[in-house]
Structure 1
Amino acid sequence: MSDVKRGHVRRGPWIIHGETVSFDNPWIAVHEFPVTMPSGDPGRYGVVHFKNRAIGVLPIDEEGYTWLVGQHRFPADAYSWELPEGGGPLDEEPEDAAHRELEEETGVKAGKLTQIGTWHLSNSVTDEIAIAYIATGLSSGQFAPDPTEVLEIKRLPFGELLDLVMSGEITDAFTVLMVQTAYIKAQRGLLPEEISRHIVPDQ
């Protein structure tokens, strides 16, 4: 573009004049950009770069039950019940990460994974990508949580999980997305019948 000086980059309506990393650890890095804003004024934009994908799994067994994982979340300083979730390295196949996270966090192995969505969880300040699956054909595996995790496990019918989401008792955004997406897709016939019959059994 004619209004972008040599070495500067246009990103949509923003012009980027440089980049620095102000924080870096094994999980995230904070990138700061001196920019020209869409208004033409100078500014700075901070982006949290995630070094893993967010991977989430909604396991459903032959009785229509699923599993929740309970843990204290440091940023919110609150206890949270969530579907099995974790980070998948960018060089790992997402399905491999989903199999691993489900087994590590619940002790349950998936025979089959069905992808139900890919989302940006907070696209104003992060570049995190979230990928979600429904797991079926479940069997016993090895419970092996990360050393930083102190987990509780709860098995409950999908309908009760949906009630917890709709009442606001579950506040984890990724879990809410997975549950509501699975429910709507099942209602609309967008999931295999062997999955849908456990999510909307009276349909």
Structure 2
Amino acid sequence: MEKRGPWTVTAKTKAFENPYIELHTYEGIRPDGAPGIYGVMSPKTYAILILPLFADGTTMLVGQHRFPLDNYSWEIPEGGSPKTDPPLDGAIRELKEETGLIAEHWREILQAETSNSVTDELAFGFLAWGLEEGEQELDGTEVVERKRLPFMAALDMVMAGEIRDLPSVAMILKAHYMARSGQLDPALSRAMLNGG
């Protein structure tokens, strides 16, 4: 038996596995003393989030179809990275793959639990600046459109509900707060908030 907070776990079963995720079922005693069951989806990678920032105050979003909800989504560059690699290595790789960008400067600004009632996925979010443009290096599962726009236009998209991907929302809001509160380079903050 294992304690998980107020739950007592009596059995754990792997219900499903593929190259990307595992699904475990936990049986045991709920907090109210009744028998219970809990399912947890465990990605085999960390979620990696990157907000690229150009010196002129613009950023780059990526647009792609998302299979689970069968919708088209505008997001910051993001992806998965093996848990054996440092998250920054994954961020460098994902930014290049999805946008073609290479960044001179990196700063981790966010660690988050993506949906902690159903998954143990952990996310690491980075700002990237000092950008050099290049070619995308997409894998066979991706069709990704790029859109460069003012940072404040991306924030407007968040506030209008046009960006619904929660990691993107969190990163854009965090970067906006950091720019307004003096936590970023002053020139970069001015460019982000004023468009140059």
Aligned partner of 1:60 in structure 2 is: 53
TM-score, length of structure 2 as denominator length: 0.96
* Percent identity (aligned): 47
How many matched pairs?
Answer: 195
TM-score, length of structure 1 as denominator length: 0.93
What's the CA shift string for 1:131-166, capped at 9, x where partnerless? Answer: 111100101233111110111111111011011011
Aligned partner of 2:160 in structure 1 is: 167
> Structure 1 stretches of 5 or more lacking a match?
1-7
Aligned partner of 2:121 in structure 1 is: 128
* Runs of 4+ residues over 6 Å off in structure 1: none
1:189 deviation in Å?
1.7
Of residues 96, 113, 118, the one that matches 2:111 is 118
Does the Cα contact within 8 Å between 1:107 and 1:141 map onto a contact in 2? Answer: yes
Structure 1 segment 1-203 matched on structure 2, within 5 A: 8-201=1-194
Local SS of the residue matching 2:54: coil
Higher strand share: 2
Local SS of the residue matching 2:159: helix
Question: Structure 2 CA distance, aligned partners of 1:193 and 1:131?
Answer: 24
Question: Structure 2 CA distance, aligned partners of 1:17 and 1:80?
Answer: 40
Q: CA RMSD in A?
A: 1.2
Question: Structure 2 CA distance, aligned partners of 1:198 and 1:87?
Answer: 30
Does the Cα contact within 8 Å between 2:21 and 2:43 map onto a contact in 1? Answer: yes
